[in-house]
Structure 1
Amino acid sequence: MPSSLKSPPTSSEVARRAGVSRTTVSFVLNNVRDQGISEATREKVLTAAREIGYEPNAAARTLAGGTTGTVALVIPKAEHLYVDVFLAQLVASINQECHRYGLKMLIESSDDEGREPGGFVDLVRSRRIDGLIVVNPSMPGREYLERVLEAGIPMVVFGAGLPDMDRFHTTGNDTSLSSKMAVNHLIGLGHSRIAFVNFAQPEYLAVNERERGWREAMAEHGFAIDPAWVAYADISAASGYRATQELLARKVPFTALFAGNDTIAFGAIRALNEAGLRVPQDVALVGYDDIPMAEFASPALTTVRTDTVGLGRDAMAMLMALLRKETPVRTTVPEALMPLVVRESCGARLASVQKK
Structure 2
Amino acid sequence: MTSKSTGSKRITSQDVAKLAGVSRSVVSAVLNGTPGIGVSERTRENVLSAIRELDYHVDARARGMKTGRSMTLAAFGDTAHPLFMRLLEGMQRAGEAAGYHLLLSSPGRGRPGEARSELLELYQQRRIDGIVTLDDTSYADAQWAQAVREVGVPYVSVEGYAEAEGIHSVHADYRGSMETALDYLRANDPGLGAAPEYAEVFSASHGGRVNEAERQRRQGYEDGCRKHGWEPVVSRHRQQGGRVDWADWCRQRSQRKPAPPVLVNWSSAVPDLYRAARACGLSVGGDLRVMAADNTIQGDVLSVPTLSCVEIPYADMGEAAVANVLRQAGGEAGPPSKLRLPAVLKPGESA
Instruction: Name the TM-score class by shorter chain.
Output: 0.5 to 0.7
Evaluate the alpha carbon distance shift between residue 271 and residue 120 of structure 1 in structure 2; reply closer, same or farther with a 3 A threshold.
farther
Contact 1:93–1:309 (CA under 8 A) maintained in structure 2:
yes
Gaps of 5+ in 1: 1-7, 347-356
- Name 2:304's counterpart in structure 1: 298
Match of 1:122 among 118, 125, 128: 118
Check if 1:209 corresponds to 2:195. Answer: no
- Name 2:154's counterpart in structure 1: 154
Q: Distance in 1 between matches of 2:294 and 2:85?
A: 12
**Equivalent residues in 2 for 1:79-94 (5 A)?**
79-80=80-81, 84=82, 87-94=84-91
Evaluate the alpha carbon distance shift between residue 260 and residue 55 of structure 1 in structure 2; reply closer, same or farther with a 3 A threshold.
farther
Match of 1:231 among 233, 238, 244: 238
Going by fraction, where is strand more abundant, 1 or 2? 2
Evaluate the alpha carbon distance shift between residue 207 and residue 71 of structure 1 in structure 2; reply closer, same or farther with a 3 A threshold.
farther
Contact 2:284–2:305 (CA under 8 A) maintained in structure 1:
yes
Q: How many residues align?
A: 309
Structure 1 vs Structure 2 CA RMSD: 4.7
Q: Aligned letter for 1:258?
A: L
Using the TM superposition, give the Cα deviation of residue 184 of structure 1 relative to its aligned residue in structure 2, in angstroms: 6.3
**Equivalent residues in 2 for 1:148-227 (5 A)?**
148-159=148-159, 163-183=162-182, 188=192, 190-191=194-195, 193-197=197-201, 201=206, 202=209, 205-214=212-221, 217=224, 221-223=230-232, 225-226=234-235
**Equivalent residues in 2 for 1:1-356 (5 A)?**
17-18=12-13, 31=32, 33=34, 47=51, 51=55, 55-57=59-61, 64-75=66-77, 77-80=78-81, 84=82, 87-110=84-107, 112-117=108-113, 119-127=115-123, 128-139=127-138, 142-143=141-142, 144-159=144-159, 163-183=162-182, 188=192, 190-191=194-195, 193-197=197-201, 201=206, 202=209, 205-214=212-221, 217=224, 221-223=230-232, 225-226=234-235, 229-232=236-239, 239=242, 242=243, 244-245=244-245, 247-248=246-247, 253=252, 256-274=261-279, 276-289=281-294, 293-327=299-333, 334=340, 338=343, 340-346=345-351
Contact 2:222–2:232 (CA under 8 A) maintained in structure 1:
no
Using the TM superposition, give the Cα deviation of residue 98 of structure 1 relative to its aligned residue in structure 2, in angstroms: 0.5
Evaluate the alpha carbon distance shift between residue 272 and residue 132 of structure 1 in structure 2; reply closer, same or farther with a 3 A threshold.
farther
Using the TM superposition, give the Cα deviation of residue 304 of structure 1 relative to its aligned residue in structure 2, in angstroms: 1.3
Using the TM superposition, give the Cα deviation of residue 311 of structure 1 relative to its aligned residue in structure 2, in angstroms: 3.1
Evaluate the alpha carbon distance shift between residue 116 and residue 342 of structure 1 in structure 2; reply closer, same or farther with a 3 A threshold.
closer
Q: Distance in 2 between matches of 1:16 and 1:342?
A: 42
Q: Distance in 2 between matches of 1:191 and 1:203?
A: 22
TM-score (norm 1): 0.65
Evaluate the alpha carbon distance shift between residue 275 and residue 154 of structure 1 in structure 2; reply closer, same or farther with a 3 A threshold.
farther
Contact 1:97–1:316 (CA under 8 A) maintained in structure 2:
yes
Contact 1:171–1:315 (CA under 8 A) maintained in structure 2:
yes
Q: Distance in 1 between matches of 2:324 and 2:210?
A: 26
Q: Deviations over 1:138-174 (max 9, x none)?
A: 54563434532443221222339x7413322222432
TM-score (norm 2): 0.66
Using the TM superposition, give the Cα deviation of residue 277 of structure 1 relative to its aligned residue in structure 2, in angstroms: 4.2
Using the TM superposition, give the Cα deviation of residue 100 of structure 1 relative to its aligned residue in structure 2, in angstroms: 0.9
Evaluate the alpha carbon distance shift between residue 183 and residue 118 of structure 1 in structure 2; reply closer, same or farther with a 3 A threshold.
farther
Bigger relative contact order, structure 1 or 2 (CA pairs below 8 A, ≥6 apart): 2
